[in-house]
Amino acid sequence: MREFLVAGNWKMNGSTAASEALISGIVAGVPAGSGFRLLVCPPFPYLASVASQVSGSAVALGAQNVSEHEFGAFTGETAPSMLRDVGCDYVIVGHSERRAIYGETSEQVAAKFMAAQAAGITPILCVGETLEEREAGTTNKVIDEQLDAVLDTAGAAVFAAAVIAYEPVWAIGTGLTATPEQAQEVHQHIRARLATGNADLAQKVQILYGGSMKGENAAGLLSMRDIDGGLIGGASLKASDFLAIAEAAAQS
């Protein structure tokens, strides 16, 4: 049985005071029960302080991006070992905002994925299609290209220590959500693609949904067979909103 992972991507929001208030609200309100895990991914400057606040709690820490390089002359970048050093267990790689705004290619995302794993950090590989791609009927093709960049270079076995997040670009920050059925269809496709490399493993990999997930739609999405949690943007910025999704996972 796969555990749910409810992950908050805070994106470029907050301040010292706001991140402290947010994480203390989350830590204080973790729902009772089992079968789910909570994760927060604050901006880099707040990782260390959030790390001390989540220490000993049921909330894990992750970062939003990482360099594909180990160390050296890469001004402005953050090495995987540094994330590990400040207490990160997870890192998001290949978020559509990084692909679209910063031009990250699937090959670069695959390199980040491998670099994170080499440092003992679980990568959360984001995949997803734009509205144009969906309307052109190329959703699966786009997802396959994004997945295959990792599968073809590293094989399916690396997904034993990885998470996948399906984030349809058209649903991110738009208030539009994929219906549970639409999301399930793609999640099932992703799992089937992984199964061509390793059928057992494919059943174990957590596949999260991201795109305007909130308390009101979480239960429906989480009820689908291949949806194992959420990667949440907007609704992760208020403790009560995030905890409503956590509650849905605890009840599912």
- For residue 103, count other CB atoms closer than 10 A to its CB: 8
The SS3 assignment for 33 reads coil
Q: Is 213 in the site for ligand 13P (CB under 6 A)?
A: yes
Which residues are CB-contacts of 181 (< 8 A; sequence separation ≥ 6)?
224
User: Which of the stretches 143-151, 178-186, 193-201, 210-218 binds ligand 13P when contact is defined by CB under 6 A?
Assistant: 210-218
Closest CA to 4 of 219, 172, 170, 241: 219
Nearer to ligand 13P, 39 or 224 (CB): 39
User: Which of the stretches 79-87, 101-109, 192-200, 211-219 binds ligand 13P when contact is defined by CB under 6 A?
Assistant: 211-219
Binding-site residue total for ligand 13P (CB under 6 A)?
14
Selected from 172, 207, 243, 248, the binder of ligand 13P by CB under 6 A is 172
Q: Is 139 in the site for ligand 13P (CB under 6 A)?
A: no
Selected from 68, 133, 167, 226, the binder of ligand 13P by CB under 6 A is 167
Kindly state the smallest distance separating residue 220's Cβ from ligand 13P, in Å. 15
Nearer to ligand 13P, 159 or 170 (CB): 170
What are the distances in angstroms from CA 4 to CA 67, 150, 188?
27, 23, 16
Tokens representing residue 246 in the block: 């956590």
Nearer to ligand 13P, 158 or 218 (CB): 218
CA distance 231 to 41: 10
Which residues are CB-contacts of 42 (< 8 A; sequence separation ≥ 6)?
10, 14, 19, 23, 50, 61
Which residues of the shown chain bind ligand 13P in the complex (CB under 6 A)? 9, 95, 167, 172-173, 210-213, 231-235
